[in-house]
């Protein structure tokens, strides 16, 4: 690895599977019980931090801060958009929050759009 390359991992001790969403790519990964998910960046992580991390009742959301991220589950490289599509310059979590108004309907398993809860530009 170069000085710009880092990796970060998380183990799932159970008792249930762990669903990980990797933003802004809208990638979704299922981490089985007693398995580990590892993110490797080719430029970005600062001090080993993959980005903002949020817990929801059903999943973990990681807002990547690397240009691209390879995802491994138990050492096996996963097919992902994050490995092939660099984050565009200037794209931020705040920008995506405005675009999706807190409802990522485009994401598999996302919540339906509710115009009452939607914020305006």
Reading the chain (121 residues) residue by residue, the pLDDT tens digits are 444 567 889 999 989 999 998 888 889 999 999 999 999 887 655 555 667 788 877 788 888 777 788 999 999 999 998 888 887 776 766 666 655 555 555 544 454 444 444 443 3
Q: How far is CA 97 from the centre of its chain?
A: 14
pTM of the shown model: 0.71
Quick one: which of 67, 53, 65, 56 has its CA closest to 103? 56
Q: Alpha helix (H) ranges present in the chain?
A: 81-84, 93-100
Contact between 100 and 118 under an 8 Å Cβ cutoff? The reply is: no
């Amino acid at each position: 690895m170069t000085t710009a390359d880092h990796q970060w991992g998380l183990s799932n001790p159970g008792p249930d599977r762990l669903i990980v969403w990797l933003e802004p790519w809208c990638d979704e990964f299922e981490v089985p019980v007693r398995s580990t998910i590892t993110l490797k960046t080719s430029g970005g992580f600062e001090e080993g931090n993959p980005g903002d991390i949020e817990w929801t009742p059903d999943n973990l959301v990681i807002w990547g801060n690397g240009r691209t991220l390879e995802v491994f589950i138990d050492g096996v490289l996963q097919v992902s958009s994050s490995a092939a599509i660099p984050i565009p310059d200037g794209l931020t979590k705040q920008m995506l929050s405005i675009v999706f108004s807190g409802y990522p309907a485009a994401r598999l398993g996302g919540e339906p759009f509710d115009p009452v809860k939607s914020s305006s530009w």
